[in-house]
Structure 1
Amino acid sequence: MSFFKKHSSIILTLVSVVLYFLFAYTTERTEFNKLLFLWISLFTCYFVLLRDQQLSFAYLTRIAVLFRLVFLFATPNLSQDFYRFIWDGRMILEGLNPYLTLPQTFIEQNNYPINQANELYKGMGVLNGSHYTNYPPINQLCFFIAALFTKNSIIGSIIVMRVLIILADIGILYFGKKLLERLQLPVKNIFLYILNPFVIIELTGNLHFEPVMLFFLVWSIYTLQQHKWFLAGILLACSISVKLIPLLFLPLFFQWFVKGDISTLKGFKKLVLFHLTTIFTVFLLFLPFYSSELISNYTNSVGLWFRNFEFNASFYYVAREIGYLFRGYNEIAIIGKIIPVLTICFLLMLTFFKKNKSVKQLIVSMLLTLSCYYFLTTTMHPWYIATLLILSVCTQYRYAVLWSFVVILSYQAYANSPWKENLWLITLEYALLYTYFIWEVFIKRKPTQN
């Protein structure tokens, strides 16, 4: 026992490495029981490591990088989106605009514009290949870099993209630590994100580019804390140009600029310039891909999330069942239009009626706004939680950490052939989440945000 206590951190690190290796190289997403066992085991190690006050920041940083490097040569096993990433990157390398064409069209015409086109199309699946790409320009730049280095090897492209994601997480660690210092919060809070098995598996392991988006978002918030609003606007635009979700935060800056300035008119001018800087930068980043068809193709592809797709939803599934009692079909077409309206109403309420004069208050509003959207959405892929997780490290709320743990229950759907969700497990996931959320946000006594 004394030996374990003395060397517990090393033992837990080695156990975690073995578990990550098993997850990366020996596990399929159809093996739900194995997934669940590895997931629970890794989270157990994660929580024990975080509770060890003797571990230095440097040690936790080293093992966070080590755990990610375990996945370096692994093919993603919980998602097939990376095949489309490689397709888009190689399209750009060949001088073709990925926003204007469908992979399906090329394959049906026996036209193979890129290397390994058939293999990539089979990997991404008919559903992905029959829709226009919805990945913004800086995300496309990451895909292009992978194609630039390895245009003939799928595993080579995977390695390049994974290195980019790992570097982005290191950037999050760097600016996240600096932001926590400026907010006078414990710097080790950043490891709630950096060491989280969900982040390592879903993002590094399965090549979702949330870390690149979050790198720019955290850097933007850090520069805003320094009152460098022009640079903050450019960085926020870069974040939006990886994933669109930070667009949701733009109205929340109102009080930071307007009510945070002694001269309201001067503050309002800064607010307008900040928004114009952000929007204009996004426009410039999209400009190399511009054509008359881009806007219609892109908006149609993004709109599919509200009109067609359903996965791991909570309130939407309840509303859908109620709707079936009255109409009996196609509830997503109706409810999908209501969700953005409800989200915007909640966003405006936080914008004008909640204090957002400090960065701490602003981050809490970002967290609550995005949580509202995810609670209502028709499609809640696990990797979306990463944004909640990084925002939560600058707050007293930890429900995003719980969600990152229980979200594994949604993967039971892939154990069925054909694919089918177990609504009892989805109910369990959200029952645990909402119970903790209500306790933490509405019941638990919490310190006042500065």
Structure 2
Amino acid sequence: MYIFYRLVSNSKSKFWWWFLGGLALRFVLIFSFPTWSDDYARFLWDGELVSMSQNPYKETPENWVAENSESKTAYLDHLFRVMNSPAYYSVYPPSNQLIFWLGSIGANQDIKQGIITLRILLILGEIGVFWLLFSLLRDSHLGNKSVILYWFNPLVILEITGNLHFEGLVLAALLLSLWALKQSKLAASGAFWSLAIGIKILPLMLGPSLLGSSVFRKSKVFWVTSGLVLIALFSPLIWDGSWANLLESIRLYQGKFEFNASIYYLLREVGFWIKGYNTIAVLTKGLSMLTFASLVYLAWKKQPKTYSQLAGVWTLSYLIYLILQPVVHPWYIIPAFGLSLLTKMKSLGFWTFSVIFSYQAYGNPNNYENPWFLFLEYGIVALALIWDYKEGNFNFRTDTLAIHEK
């Protein structure tokens, strides 16, 4: 239905029908429980601690339960039992904690109400993404029809609205940053970029692309505003030293978990052959350095000068990160996919289809990943990347909408 609707729609179609159709699909899931992810339990747990005026970064859930038995409720006990990471400190930045707190208020000690509250907040973010994409595409040579590719995408609907992941809000903040650039409002652009970092730290990797552009490199107002917003967003971590626990969780996550990887899995097999054991500790550090070096080279090579060129460099930055990471959950692709709609690149769209094969691992108790499904997923991605390369879709030199600092 998604592909058919994309084919039969045209630029003259009333966008209100696009908007209402995609919104209806999201509200179909309003009362459902997330079935492919239990991350919502940690979201609501952290939000409940914040509502109790406690710091979610200071203790792991296991330690909190052991030391606060008098404060434990049936609601917290249920969340603790379904949580997937009770032995780890929270890995979510303070801006996320604010959203979790709103979810906790809406929950009122009821998990289903908490899920509905978070879902409504995420749907509001999705509405913002629709209008921002529509606005940015309307004035480009691509045409606003491409907004359909996001608005009706099954992966986007299931992972953001259904499974309550916050990549849609990250995309909204990044699109707001690009929209502000289009309006030549560099201070606002920097603020929205920092907001994206405050929701998920990952957009920090887009910094080299901004430094690689003369438009941003010379803009004091952009960097001052970005810095002030970041300080404001992350100041709760500085006051009581919670930043150390957050960094520890990030470090453990990067050095322990594996899922749906590509290059990493190939290198891991080489490590088994040479060393006889899993060399994840060495590989993750090496791939992190390679990722950083690649992002710096990309920024130097492309040097974006228009907001659409910047969207292309951001898309490639995400693509490099995802290809080299040991953990690639399906929802990680969504910000890159949304940004790619502002370019001619098609490979991220194909990946939103092929990544569905990674759900095969959820069909068995041990989450075993069948290599054939991995070959199928990344084979499609590889073919799409080759197509993009041959079509010249990685070149962003046809843009005409330059950014001028006011």
Gaps of 5+ in 2: 400-406
Give 1:248's aligned residue. Answer: 205
What secondary structure does 2:69 align onto?
coil
Q: TM-score, normalised by structure 2?
A: 0.93
Aligned-partner SS, 1:338: helix
Alignment check: 8 A CA contact 1:306 1:332 kept: no
2:209–2:303 Cα contact (<8 Å) kept: no
Residue 213 in 1 paired to residue 181 in 2?
Answer: no
Are 1:449 and 2:406 counterparts? no
In the alignment, is residue 395 of structure 1 matched against residue 343 of structure 2?
yes
The corresponding residue for 1:78 is 36
Which residue number corresponds to residue 118 of structure 1? 77
Contact 1:360 1:449 in 2 (8 A): no
For 2:217 and 2:100, the matched residues in 1 are separated by 38
- Contact 1:106-1:113 at 8 Å conserved across structures: no
The residue type paired with residue 169 of structure 2 is V
Q: Alpha-carbon deviation of 1:207?
A: 0.2
**Is the contact between residue 103 and residue 118 of structure 2 (CA under 8 Å) also seen in structure 1?**
yes
SS at match of 2:343: coil
Written as runs of structure 1 = structure 2, the 5 A alignment for 1:274-423 is 274-423=222-371
Q: 1:158 to 1:449 in 2, by over 3 A?
A: same
CA separation of 1:109 and 1:180: change in aligned 2, threshold 3 A: same
**Residues 112 and 444 of structure 1: CA distance in aligned 2, closer, same or farther (over 3 Å):** farther
1:89 to partner: Cα distance: 0.4
Which of residues 172, 180, 185 in structure 2 aligns to 1:228? 185
Whichever residue aligns with residue 50 of structure 1, its letter is R
Distance 1:108 1:341, change over 3 A: same
- Structure 2 residue aligned with 1:46: 2
Secondary structure at 2:92 match in 1: coil
Residues 438 and 105 of structure 1: CA distance in aligned 2, closer, same or farther (over 3 Å): same
Q: Measure, in 2, the Cα distance between the counterparts of 1:345 and 1:445.
A: 23
| Counterparts of 2:61 and 2:367, CA distance in 1 | 23
> In 1, are the aligned partners of 2:264 and 2:283 still within 8 Å (CA)?
yes
Query: Distance in 1 between the 2:297 and 2:139 partners?
Result: 28
Q: Percent identity?
A: 33
- Give the unaligned 5+ runs of structure 1: 1-44, 261-266
**Is this contact kept in 1: 2:212–2:299, CA < 8 A?**
yes
Contact 1:76 1:205 in 2 (8 A): yes
Moved more, 76-85 or 54-63: 54-63
Of the candidates 9, 20, 23, which is equivalent to residue 65 of structure 1? 23
Q: Secondary structure at the match of 1:134?
A: coil
Q: Which residue of 1 aligns with 2:403?
A: none
Post-superposition CA distance 1:341-381 (Å, at most 9, x none):
11111111111122411112111111111101100100000
> Of 138, 150, 157, which aligns to 2:114?
157
For 1:214, the aligned partner's letter is: L
Query: Could you state the TM-score of these two structures normalised by the residue count of structure 1?
Result: 0.84
Deviations 1:257-286 (A, max 9, x none): x2x4xxxxxx6441x442332132122112
Count of residue pairs brought into register by the alignment: 394
For 1:399 and 1:248, the matched residues in 2 are separated by: 21
- What one-letter code is carried by the residue in structure 1 that aligns with 2:276? G
Report the AA paired with residue 73 of structure 1.
F
